[in-house]
Structure 1
Amino acid sequence: EEDTKKQVSATSSSTSSSMPVEVKRGKKGKMKKQARKYADQDDEDRELALLALHGGEKKQKQPTAKSSVPVSEHQKEAETETARFLLKDPFQVASEKLEEQTRTLLAESVSVKNTDGTVVPRWDKFDADVIEQLAALDSEPQRIAAAQRLLQLKQATQVDNFSASLAGIIRTIRKYGHVSLSQQELPEAGKSKFDRVAEEERWKEALADEGLVHHGERDEVDDTGEISKLTGKPTAEDLILYAVPVCAPYHALSQYRYRVKLTPGNLKKGKAAKQSVEIFLKGGQEKGSSDQTKELIRRVAEGDWVQAVCGDVKIAAGGTSNSKRSKSKKKK
């Protein structure tokens, strides 16, 4: 019996190990892409990349047999040097490679005021490689001019990316020199909220003086007169200028001369709009229809029709069933 149990257990364990591991739907293709993308990456490269992405934070892993393998001093030095290269401190680079006047100007450019009123430079707004590019300029006057230009930009307008702005200044100095840099005009500073409100008030007063807007109605302009110019059933005395596509509840358009009913169906927006226009243009026997109104309907752009019509609809209108029957008879 014991031998039988051993055989059964051995058979079951071998069967379970030979069974393929089930992969969730959509994961197989993702795993293939990862295998192709990181084919040349070993564990050490992956660890260094994760270290750079997470800003130096490293998760504490459980000790394994692999981690107990001794690491040589050369490997430790290589890892430390690589991590230092990936995670350079811009303040440290500036302290080592820039003179005091340039550092002072850069610090003033990125200084912010804390809640307690103290002013602190935010060196993290710079990238270390941009600081190295600044240090690589030929002379000290060039470096000072670049830092001075960045400070002027900050005082004149809002700077969103200090590293990109400083890199652009460095490229300009390398191409044209730092003497021409001072001759360039600074961009105009953005208007404050107070200035915008004051300008708007002056503009409203100017319109009121010209009689375009009354003094008591400066904030609320009555434009309901424009709505009264729209009609769905024009009379013979009306001067028709344009045709406007409208989509609304059917009972609200009961007085409109040209209308179709849209119900849920399988017609797309473009086809539904095209069929609606065909129905409007074929309604020549209706009372009040004229060549002028049909011409205005033709002038409406196809995009305006498509924007006004719903999608996935079926058109129901007088005469549509008869036209379908006549088409089917012709085919027969």
Structure 2
Amino acid sequence: RGGGRPGGQRGAPKKPPPPAKEAPKRGQRSKLKKIKDKYADQDDEERDLMLGLLGSAGRSKAEIAREARRREAEEKAAREAQKAQRHKDNVEKQAETARKERQSAGAGAIAVADKAAPASFDAAGAAELRSLLEEPSIQELDEGQRAALAQHDALTALPAEGDSLLYAVPVCAPYSALSAYRFRVKLTPGSQKKGKAAKQAVGIFCGGAGGASERERELMRAIKDDELVRQMISNVKLVAPSAATAALKTERKAKAKAKADAKG
């Protein structure tokens, strides 16, 4: 019989040849040569270590972005947890304060109830209660305390016609608290110096519209400048009633006219 290859046997399939490497473009050859010379002494371990220190370690931009989003989400969750814990602590603190106030109020109510029911006291407690009730509730003051109270009682915001006036005291307080004072002006923030504003206020008080007596004018003009400005704020604006302001302007015009006539 004729020779030849047995039926059914074929040759092994051949692998396709690997693609040819693309030749480096113009200018890349020298750049690759510089990189090769620079890192010629660096092995794989050193390369991995340097990449790890730089934070890249061969990761892609997508991995770095995912890591940043994950860290941001963790930080946000931690902030929310801290905020919730602070809110919880505040609620618990308020509840504890309310509980203590209720307990204190309850103790006070019990004490009042016990005091209102002396029938439940024993004989010793009743005797002690009687001795406490018999003691005078007003203590006597010494001479210094009585003198201080007498000085306080001597101060008045609205002197009567028959009062004997000793001195005037400058007062700086909220305008609504001075509603009972006869001589008062309002100070608002402005550009005027407080010394000039204080003198202007005294001029308004001593003007004809203020209704001050000769003794009151004398005492107000006798106040020293440092006492006038001691309680005032800097850079103020004086707001006086329209009648007092008009009277002050009229008085100034009359004085200026009198000086002009005297010079003429």
TM-score range, shorter chain: 0.3 to 0.5
Larger Rg: 2
Query: Higher RCO, 1 or 2 (CA under 8 Å, sep at least 6)?
Result: 2
Q: Normalising by structure 2, report the TM-score.
A: 0.38
